[in-house]
Copies of this chain bind each other. A is one copy, B any other.
Amino acid sequence: VGIITLTTDFGLKDEYVGVMKGAVLTRFPEAVLVDISHQIAPHDRLQAAFLLAAAVPHFPAGTVHAVVVDPGVGTNRAIVAVRGDGQTVVAPDNGVMSCWLERVTVDAIVCVTNPALRAATVSSTFHGRDIIAPAAAHLAMGLPMTQLGSPMREGDLHRLAALRVRTTTDGDLEGRVVGSDHFGNLMTNVPMTQVPAGARVSVAGNRIGHLVTTYADVSPGTALALAGSRGYLEIAVNQGNALRQLRVQQGDPVTVSPG
């Protein structure tokens, strides 16, 4: 179908996102462009990694996902295209695929280097427009991955260390708060696949209690822990804002104890 999603830290004030779309449409006028987010905090590869992994599985097979959160633009970090489970991601090799790579069966990886598939002149500040958008357009048009550049091995892709969850000697799972969403729900790096039924959760010293099923399982204004729609443990406040109410910060520890 030719769907291309875009995830960037460009914000929406400038023309940058629109220009990337122009760079796609110039090469592939039938592309269907879908914004995931352009409000990733500047250079926040961890946030991008979570959003990308949460979004990809909801798109049809054949979708191409372009990510431009790129503090290393202009340095020699690679730009890569990775295909797995019917989806293709094009991004700087800086860890933004980390969460997605944990879940997917990869079947092809290339380093995007073919000069014929870039802008005629590549700027040193806007590879999203000059390399990533053209690559995404060509992939969405059905160009074989091997045309984009030389193959890479999965083990050579950059991964973010911040994603690691550890098991304590007490048998607890210890993760971290990795951000918050628009509603003030606190995102953690604890995959629900590792959380036992009925687990007890605390965050930064606050006891949240046992895992519940939905916001309304506690009274309004009360904190709760539940399976977030992204597949990770989340801390929320029913009809409230957990970020403001619990005074928790990115990086604070989250502990999950068996019920």
Contacts and interface: CB of A to CB of B under 8 A. Distances in A.
Interface of A: 1, 3, 5, 7, 10-19, 21-23, 25-26, 29, 32-39, 42-43, 51-52, 54-55, 58-60, 63, 71-75, 123-126, 129, 181-183, 213-217, 226-230, 239
A23 B59 CA distance: 7
Copies in the complex: 3
Nearest to A212: B124
B59 A26 contact: yes
A22 B58 contact: yes
Contacts of A181: 11, 13-14, 16
Given A26-B58, A29-B3, A58-B129, A37 B19 contact: no
A233 to B, nearest CB: 13
A183 B182 CA distance: 21
B42 A14 contact: no
A22 B123 contact: no
Given A13-B181, A22-B59, A29-B60, A216 B75 contact: yes
A100 to B, nearest CB: 12
Contacts of A125: 214-215, 226, 228-229
B35 A17 contact: yes
A25 B60 contact: yes
10 contacts: A1-B29, A7-B15, A16-B182, A22-B55, A22-B58, A25-B34, A29-B60, A42-B182, A72-B216, A75-B216
A51 to B, nearest CB: 4
A86 to B, nearest CB: 11
A10 B55 contact: no
A58 B228 contact: no
